[in-house]
Structures are given as C-alpha cells and as structure tokens.
Structure 1
C-alpha cells in the first residue's frame, strides 16, 4: 500500500472515530433544540400526505353490462391489468343503464366506475362522474332472417315487424328508440319492439320467432360472433349512414368489407355500412390518480394488443365524445402523453410523483436556498447554546460577588463545575470554536476567583 493510500485510510479512520461521531451528536442536539418547530413541521407534512393520498382507498368497482358482451370482455381485461400492477378492481354486472344510474346516484353503492356508450347518456345524467375517454367502438348491428332487405331506412321497414331491441334500460334499447324516432317521429314504444335479453333475442331470431334483432356491441363480443357465424342470419346495410352521423354527431361510420366475415363464402357479398358509437369509461371525480392512470394505461395496452376489426385513427383511448367532461388526469394523458416515470416505477408511485410533480419541482428549485438555511440554523443552534452558557456564567458571577459566606461561595463553585461539564459536552460549530474556548477559560478563571474568595473568608 502506497503512502497516499495509507494517508487516506488514516483520514477515514479519524473521520469515523471523531468527526462523524461529533457530527451525529451535533445533529442530535440540533434536533432537540428545534423539537417544537420540528413537531409542527411533521404535523404539516402528515397533513399534506393525507391530502395527496399516496395509496388508493379501498377497491375500485366497475359496472359492466350483460355477460357475453363487449363490456364484460373489457372488464376482464381491466381486472387483469389491475392485478398485474398491485391494484384491485371488482366487476359488477348490471342489466342496463337504468341500474347503473341508480347505483351511481345511490350514496350507499360501491360502484365508482362504469362504461357508458355515447348517445346513451350525458353529463347531466352522471353529474358526479368524469370521463377517461372512449375505450372501445360499439357498432349498432341490425341482424335479420329471410330475403335480403335493401331499403334506405331500415327502421321504417321494421316499424311494424317483430324486432328485438334490447332489454329495458340497455344501450341497445335507448339507441334504437333514438334512431327510430329520427326518421319516424312519434313511433314511440310499440308491442312489436320486443325488449329481450341478448341470448333470448338471439335464440328467437335463429328460431324464426322474430324477424330482426338490433344490438349495440363490439365486434369481438361472443353474441355478435355467434350471429356473424350463422349463414342463415343476414346483416343490414345502412345506406343513409352518413346522414345519420350528420344528424347524430356522437355516432360514426364503420364498414364491414365484402368477404370480411367469411372470405371463402364471400360473406357479406358487398360492403356493409354500419353506425357505431364510442364506449366511454366514466369514473367518480375523486377517484384516486393511480386508479385513473391504471384505467388509461390498461385501455392503451388493450387497444394495442387487440385485433381491431374496425380500424381507429391514432388508436384508443381517445376523447371523441365531448358530452362528458374529462378528468384532470385524463386531460394530462391526452395532451402530454404518458410520463416516462411510468416505465421505471411501480404504477402507484409513478402516479403519485406525476400528481405532485409541481410540488417536487418547487422543492428542487428551493433546495439550495433551503440547504443554506439549514446550515444557518445549524450555526444558530451552536451559537445559541454557547450564549446560554455565557448568560449562566454571568448570573453566577453576580452571585459570586454577592456571596458573604464560605457556603454561598461553595454553592457557586459547584454550579460552575456543572457549567464547565455541560460546556464540554456541548456541540459547537467550527466557526464558533473560539467562543467555546473563551467560555471554558472564563469558567476556569471564575473558579479561581471563587477559591481565592473562600481563602479570604476563612482568614477573616
């Protein structure tokens, strides 16, 4: 080992033996000196921690539609994503939007998130919810049996024929009523508009009991796939789809290309235009940021991994339906994208840091001045401790001058010795060292004066 290495090792040993111990003792004494202020700061820090809620409160409960639908598949995918990232998502199946609205407006309900298809509700219907955007596309399918139907207005055609329009309160039933009334005002609720659950409606259509079935659901939905795979069931074309979209802006046009269902049998035989709506994901306004980010990131992952039959520009999620206000978290997601910290940190921690980044930036900008302040507080504590000893010495000097008996002088000497011991144990900052030794010399000098006074009193 060279000389420089030995010198460095010696330095480290001396630092660990003397300087580090002295520094730790210094901060311990400073902590005791500033204890009252520290308690106040700790209380404020705790209050801030409670306010920003670093962890989600309890479970998140997502309301979905009937089993075998797009919302069920989405719910399962969201639940899987939440589990992978240490969060809990419970699924609650609801028969229709009426039940969802009732749950959301019920203070005792634990539902705090739901899928709502565009056109089936608005912010007025869900005042306590905000949107995370559109997470899926749900076309409006009109399946029928028999001869091929080619009409401009399919709803006029089925106005007096038995058609399943969806269970009461469902998206299908609501959208059917809206579309029927668009070109056929005053039609209302007719006996031939059968409000059947999906599976029952499919069974009746395939059995020939009803002529047609109207349903709003995703392409990958088991119900839709069941109907598309049945060669005896036909899919209605909407020739006036562009006009419908112009009248109802929350809708969009999608196309089933010729042969896309069965390329071998070339089904359908020609392009089929459909109306489609967007599936909005709504959450309560006070939903924890980590939960909102989990929904948004899960939506993006699901969209990227899914084989989307109907292509969507820029992928999902999107903010297309403006009838629901975006949450602040979703606004940041759509305007600034996903912060890079989500690639390196657990989701809950990344969401917390992203939510308080302004505070962290402010702390960073104030870091150097605060450090200088802390150093100043450190020096102030050192000076204050020494000054307290100086004042004590001043009082003892007055007592020594006023002492008239050996016993009184002896009492002053005892307290001087105690003061000397306290001074020896007192932490002193480097630039206050001269005051430390001045105090020690003054204490020693006063002890000598006290001893001389005792000798004079004993002689007299």
Structure 2
C-alpha cells in the first residue's frame, strides 16, 4: 500500500510541477534596474526635478540616467528613437508621435511674455510687425509661442521671429535689440526676476486668458500676485494674470509596467507638497496632459497604491504581483487534483484489499473440491503467509481499519475451514 501511495504522490507532484512550469512561461520578466530620462538643460527647472527623481529611485535600488537636452522637442525625439524611456515634456509641444503616453502632469510653467515699455502692447496681436524671440530650436517654448501668436494672426510673414535661447533673448530685450520675448519657465528662474526688476521692460497681462484655455486644453491661467516673486522689492509691482502650461512626464508605451507605480511613487514624493503656484496634493495629476494617459498610471492617481505596495517593499510587491499568474494552475488544476486525491487514494487501498479478498474467495469456493492433503497444506501455508504479511508489513489509515480487520477475520475463517477439510481427508 505504501508503494501504491508513493506512486499516486509522485504523479500528483509531477502534475503540480508541470503546471507551475507552464504557468511560469507567462510571467512577465522583472523590470530593468536602469531607466533613461530625457530632460532640459543642466541647471534648468526640468533638470533639477530629474535630480530629485534620481534620488528617490536610487532609494528603491534603481538608477535613473539623466540626458540633458535643449528642450521638449528634443526630448520627444529621444523618446521616439528609443534613446530615452521617459522624459519631461512641456505642454503645447505634443506632435503626432505614436507609442507615447502620459504618466502625469507635474507642475505649472507660466508663459511669460515680456516687452519693452516703450511698445504699447496689451494683447498678443499687438506684436504684429515686431521683433519677437520665440525660443530656440528644440525647446518647448517655440512651438507654444508660435501657436499663441498664430491664434492672434501674428506669423513669420508679418513679423520677425527670432530663435533665441532664454539667456540671449533676455539680454537682447534688455538692450533694446528686440521688442518682445516668450519664456516658459518657473517663476523662480533668475531670468524672470531680472526682467521683472528692469524698469524698461513690462510683463504682458493676459486679459483673454479664458479664450486661450478654452481653445488649448493643456493651458490654464494663474495669478502672479504683487510681491510674490520678491516681497522685499515688491516684484512684481502689480498683480498679473498669466497663461500656464504644465510639465508632464511622458513615457514610451513599451516601458515595463512595473516601473509605472515606482515612477509615480517618486513623483508624488517630489511634488505632493506643491510650490509657489501649486497647491498641496494638486500634482501629480491626470489633468492638462496631451498624450493619452497610461491606464495603470490613471488608476494609480485615482485609487492610490495597491494593497501589496502598501504593506511590502516595491521589489517584493512587484514580484508577488508578477507571480500571481501562478494562481491559475492552483485554481484550475491543483484544487480539483487535491479534491480528487483522497478518492483516488481510498480506491487504491480498497483495490488492494479487494485483490486479497479475490484470492480468499477463490480458495473458499474450492475447499469442498480438494481431495489431496498436500494441496490443502499448500493453501494453508499461502493464507498463513498472507496473514503474517498483513500483521507485520501492511499499514492502513484509521478510516480503513474496519475493512482491514474484516479481512484478517475472514482469512482466519477460511483457514479453519481448510483445516476441517484436511481433518476429513486424514
């Protein structure tokens, strides 16, 4: 019986092992330990943010490789070519690039339009015919500035568009060599403070901000209050309404899915407290994005981390989540197998007992036909050997002891009948 039980156990274990082996073929490989990120120029706001992400990811055992660029257009090019997996992208720069998704918008970036005070400019269409710095090639400022100017019928055909970096544009505006300049940057940028402090330069107040934000979903409006930039020197001197784009984290569609919650966890730690323009817990957000939202990211932003991520470290939570597919053989194969194991085992034991009974019946039915003593002695020896084997070598579960003792009594009964037949012949 023990041997029979071993055979059943071996088959069961083999089926279990094979089931898990097949299911494991569908387990997604673990995420890479290094991620490449395209960002802005070194020293800029995007670059500083990426350094904070790098620190957060390093605490989880991941390395963030930072690739500085001239701006959002170059970032998108790197994402499209596969040189980078994730990138910080300014609102208003989205192109027809397939295979990219948004993880979240992160913070506001005001659109600053500075002009010389000797130029009477109240609306963007007043810039027609002027010398305008619209941002350098590869930056996110240029496509956004051109969109806004085009909306006001200010084009390269009737005006002079200049592709200048922020630093060059600020210098030329201060020197009177250009009439206006666009900047899309943080209010903490040194260039902004310098221009606001220059008495010959004025910041455009966007009176028609609702018209712009209704036409361009990636835009909203913010108010820069009096003294907000520099309270001691009262900069700016008056309240100003500005348009604002949002910086978003954009990823390649083929980015490993386990990296999504890891990145969002880092983004939340960096941006949840807000800033000069953002309220606490306002960002990261699924608003003001231009690329389609990643479904995992959207669920994370709405529902928060999963149960596993709340109680386990990231590496363990993702490992458990990836291995959940192994529950399929457990449910589909193992449970029915375990459910059927006991009946199979019971049948195996009973089958062995029934085989002994078959031998016993065969002898019992032939007792009255035996006419030679030596044949009877042979049958007696055979049953005594079986009786000894049952006592010394066979182990039966408690649930089958009734059948076991019944067999032993019936062997004894047949032995008595054989002995009686032998006595008759002698």
TM-score over 0.5 (shorter chain): yes
Q: C-alpha separation between the residues in 1 aligned to 2:355 and 2:315?
A: 55
Corresponding residue of 1:267: 235
**In the alignment, is residue 228 of structure 1 matched against residue 198 of structure 2?**
no
Gaps of 5+ in 2: 367-373
1:299 is paired with a residue whose SS is: helix
Corresponding residue of 2:88: 115
Aligned with residue 14 of structure 2, among 15, 18, 36: 36
How far the C-alpha of 1:171 sits from its partner, in A, is 0.9
What TM-score, normalized to structure 2?
0.76
Once the two structures are overlaid, the 10-residue window that deviates more, 393-402 or 165-174, is 393-402
How far the C-alpha of 1:303 sits from its partner, in A, is 2.0
Q: C-alpha separation between the residues in 2 aligned to 1:170 and 1:422?
A: 90
Aligned with residue 161 of structure 2, among 167, 190, 193: 193
How far the C-alpha of 1:113 sits from its partner, in A, is 1.7
2:234 is paired with a residue whose SS is: coil
| Cα RMSD (Å) | 4.7
How far the C-alpha of 1:412 sits from its partner, in A, is 8.0
Q: C-alpha separation between the residues in 2 aligned to 1:188 and 1:399?
A: 113
Corresponding residue of 1:4: none
**In the alignment, is residue 385 of structure 1 matched against residue 354 of structure 2?**
no
Distance 1:378 1:95, change over 3 A: same
Distance 1:303 1:189, change over 3 A: farther
Q: C-alpha separation between the residues in 1 aligned to 2:73 and 2:53?
A: 23
Corresponding residue of 1:172: 141
Contact conserved, 1:382 with 1:432, CA < 8 A, in 2? no
- Per-residue CA distance 1:332-381 (angstroms, 9 max, x = gap): 22433344553432124445667899998x999x89xx87x676444224
What TM-score, normalized to structure 1?
0.71
Corresponding residue of 1:321: 288
How far the C-alpha of 1:168 sits from its partner, in A, is 1.1
Whose Rg is larger?
Answer: 2
Q: C-alpha separation between the residues in 2 aligned to 1:443 and 1:208?
A: 120
Q: C-alpha separation between the residues in 1 aligned to 2:388 and 2:136?
A: 90
Q: C-alpha separation between the residues in 2 aligned to 1:359 and 1:41?
A: 9
Aligned with residue 214 of structure 1, among 168, 182, 203: 182
Q: C-alpha separation between the residues in 2 aligned to 1:226 and 1:26?
A: 85
Q: C-alpha separation between the residues in 2 aligned to 1:42 and 1:440?
A: 44
Aligned with residue 87 of structure 1, among 43, 62, 72: 62
Corresponding residue of 2:127: 157
Contact conserved, 1:130 with 1:324, CA < 8 A, in 2? yes
How far the C-alpha of 1:172 sits from its partner, in A, is 0.5
How far the C-alpha of 1:139 sits from its partner, in A, is 1.4
Contact conserved, 1:420 with 1:443, CA < 8 A, in 2? no
- Per-residue CA distance 1:272-311 (angstroms, 9 max, x = gap): 22111122222233433431112222222222234x1113
**In the alignment, is residue 342 of structure 1 matched against residue 309 of structure 2?**
yes
Q: C-alpha separation between the residues in 2 aligned to 1:392 and 1:422?
A: 18
Corresponding residue of 1:278: 246
Corresponding residue of 2:150: 181
Distance 1:235 1:193, change over 3 A: same
Q: C-alpha separation between the residues in 2 aligned to 1:293 and 1:150?
A: 50
Aligned with residue 102 of structure 1, among 63, 74, 77: 77
How far the C-alpha of 1:175 sits from its partner, in A, is 0.6
How far the C-alpha of 1:173 sits from its partner, in A, is 0.8
Corresponding residue of 1:130: 101
- Per-residue CA distance 1:260-281 (angstroms, 9 max, x = gap): 1222222211112211112222
Corresponding residue of 1:21: none
Distance 1:432 1:61, change over 3 A: farther
- Per-residue CA distance 1:90-130 (angstroms, 9 max, x = gap): 22223344433333333xx25222222222115xx232122
**In the alignment, is residue 46 of structure 1 matched against residue 24 of structure 2?**
yes
How far the C-alpha of 1:253 sits from its partner, in A, is 0.8
Q: C-alpha separation between the residues in 2 aligned to 1:26 and 1:47?
A: 32
Corresponding residue of 1:70: 45
2:272 is paired with a residue whose SS is: helix
Q: C-alpha separation between the residues in 1 aligned to 2:389 and 2:169?
A: 95
Aligned residues: 410
How far the C-alpha of 1:234 sits from its partner, in A, is 4.8
Once the two structures are overlaid, the 10-residue window that deviates more, 128-137 or 94-103, is 94-103
Distance 1:376 1:252, change over 3 A: closer
Distance 1:246 1:374, change over 3 A: closer
Contact conserved, 1:399 with 1:412, CA < 8 A, in 2? no
Q: C-alpha separation between the residues in 2 aligned to 1:149 and 1:418?
A: 118
Q: State the structure with bigger RCO (CA 8 A, min sep 6), 1 or 2.
A: 2
